[in-house]
Chains A and B, each alone.
Chain A
Amino acid sequence: MPVLPRQKRYALRACAAGLTALSLTLATACGEPPGEEGQTDGGESAGLAEDPQFVWAVTGADRAIHEDVARLWNENNPDQQVEVFFLAPTADEQRQAMFQDLQNQAGEFDVLGLDVIWTGEFADYGYIEPLEDLRGEVEGVSLEGAIDSAQWQQELYALPYSSNGAFLYYRTDLIDEPPTTWEELYETGMEAAEEEGISAYVGQGDQYEGFVVNYLEMFWSADGELFDQAQEQSTFLEGDAATTALDFMTEAYESGFYADGFDSMVEDDARALFQAGEAVYMRNWPYAIPLLEGEEGEESAVAGNFAVAPLPTFTGEGTTSALGGLNNAVSSLSGNKELAREFVLWAATDPEAQGILAEHSLPPTMLSIYDEVDDPDFEMLGEILTEAHARPPVPGYNSLSLAIQDNLHPAFRGQEEAGPALDAVNKAADNALTQE
């Protein structure tokens, strides 16, 4: 654990570390896996500033990009330099590290790079500062979905930074035109798969957040909404979107539309199958494109034989993708809130900073960047993202996500009845708004 130059907090930090060690011991005594807690140890400072005035805690994935952004800030603000603290690359561990920093009152982090689904939780816990007064600065400048994901109870608690959306990958040697409806996708996929002796569709079907995203994309594309406008009650069962989406998945699972092992498949399993030429369609994030093209020494059976399109819908109009990415928030324990706010705003709205993301093919949230880049896939991503849905960042999002996994995963595999499973999710959605 690197010691940041903050003498005063060092004592507190030491206490926190001691407590962490203790809770680890207990966890071991009670049968928890050692090392699951206290993963701050996995993090490290980037060492970008000599006399940092504040610290930005952000995911260790895409390290080079965040470093470049921080360097740019430091060049522009030599007296108010930022230090980057890289957290673990996996979402649960990042959140755990930030929780620990906050709950133990250590307060080493000033700016928190939050996954788009954490806003409500952090806001409700009192971990982050409201940024409602900065709304005018990002409205119309950042992606609408990204702004949605940064607010809780109609108040902004974070500002958009990076984004992510889904593509439908398809085989150009097997499919002439990408489908616009799920039904069309099903039929063309089945036909081509049968002719070729391969699978029709791969995606994220394991029981984890990826399954939730895949389900919600179908749900939204059938015009479903999880909550009413004011986020006061669940509208999960209003209309028939929930049933339509689940029925499609159940049917697709039964009839072998999904590849074998879809129900334990994560992003890279799907990518590997598609790359080996074993599937007609794939739902995945943009990261797969260079790999499928056979760049960076990858072997690819589909190089030159695939293209990307927006995901279809049930109505045949528009597209729906779940929105990924990060928002930056100001820690309520920060000793330098003004500066932290400035940085958060700058990272959201500075064309140069956002341009760095685009250069590295990490989707930025600033709309104007998408007009400048000369890459058809990237332009398409821009269009997809303007129509993308934010998963509602309510405080109980984690419980809701787990409820969707617990209930709809067995249901789509035909092991549980659809009706009670959907009711259970509806109940969990209501509970997610209040969390007791």
Chain B
Amino acid sequence: MAKTQKVRVRQGLGERAMGRIFLAPSFAFMAVIALFPVFYAIGRSLYDIRGFHQEFTGLDNYLRVLSDSGFFNAVWNTLVFTVASVSLEFVIGMVFALIMHQAFVGRGVTRAVILIPWVIPTAVAAQVWRYMFDRNPGFVNSVLGTDINWLRDPTWSMVGVISADVWKTAPFVALLLLAGLQTIPRDYYEAAKVDGAGALQRFWTITLPLLRPAIVVALLFRTVDALRMFDFAYIFTGYSNSLATLSVYAQRYLIRDPDLGYANALSTVTFVIVMIVGLAFISRLGRHMVGDVAGKEK
């Protein structure tokens, strides 16, 4: 009797067990909507699917990915786009955030104005930019006084897509960084000022280190997003090799030239690449972040 009662008590108080039970429904939900499709897609990627005819071909689709120059072209485009757009967005977003953080007349309006590009749906923004870059009527060219083929020249179209994306997403980075800036106590700056630290020194030794968590989050979001970029590239140049990103390339085999097994293999590879980059980010930069917090708590 006593024994069973003891067990019962322990069961009743088992916080971990209770936690698991409460988490089970949401975990099951996640598994169904997130994990199942991933494994389903991986399964499909092992088949050669042509309409009602399908055949198990093992890793053939993946071997084909590795020998597909179109795929490597897409990887290259994606990397160029990601590195360039994320760095520019970070720098410009940081400047925006610092401006918005200052107390000045019309600060509320400035914040709202800066955020406008980010609120516009990407597909709509891409159409507008495409129209502006188009040589007819040649809006961008006439503003810059140039005669550049923004949509079809491989180099310039990449420049165009990157600038459009920076215009669109720098405000988002700014917003994240601004939230971070607002958590830094003013006292630090005042103390530093009293000690005679200049503006630049205050930025390097106070703002940047304390902003680290926000920076990590902003960079992680943007990098992962940029690696999956579809809208701008597809709307600017369709399936053209000069701008096709990994997502555009996978979509090509999903919709335009349906080869479902291969499309799934491409999607899986894209997924893995994004996953690796995401995890690398979290483990490299995120650990410091967690470490800092832990250190403070001690």
Contact = CB atoms under 8 A, between A and B. Distances in A.
Interface string B2-43: 000000000000000000000000000000011011101100
A31 interface: yes
A124 interface: yes
Interface string A373-409: 0000000000000000000000000110010011001
Given A92-B256, A398-B256, A436-B48, A29 B38 contact: yes
A14 interface: no
A10 interface: no
Nearest to A26: B37
Interface string A269-280: 100010000000
A33 B230 contact: yes
Contacts of A265: 136
A122 B195 CA distance: 77
Interface in A24-45: 25-27, 29-33, 36-37
Interface residues of A, number: 47
A108 to B, nearest CB: 16
Interface stretch (B168-176, B213-221, B238-246, B284-292): B238-246
B240 to A, nearest CB: 5
Contact of B238 (A22, A33, A127, A207): A207
Contacts of B38: 26, 29
Contact of A26 (B149, B230, B267): B267
B40 A22 contact: yes
B270 interface: yes
B271 interface: yes
A260 B136 contact: yes
Contact of B51 (A29, A124, A208): A124
A406 B241 contact: yes
Given A99-B258, A207-B237, A263-B152, A124 B37 contact: no
Contacts of A103: 51-52, 260
A264 B152 contact: yes
A32 B247 contact: yes
Interface in B240-263: 240-242, 246-247, 250-252, 254-258, 260
A36 B40 contact: no
Contacts of A413: 152
A25 B37 contact: yes
B135 interface: yes
A77 interface: no
Nearest to A435: B50
Interface of B: 33-34, 36-38, 40-41, 48, 50-53, 123, 134-136, 138, 149, 151-152, 154, 227-231, 234, 237-242, 246-247, 250-252, 254-258, 260, 267-268, 270-271, 274
15 contacts: A29-B38, A30-B268, A31-B229, A31-B270, A32-B247, A33-B230, A95-B258, A103-B51, A121-B51, A122-B51, A207-B240, A260-B136, A398-B256, A398-B257, A398-B258
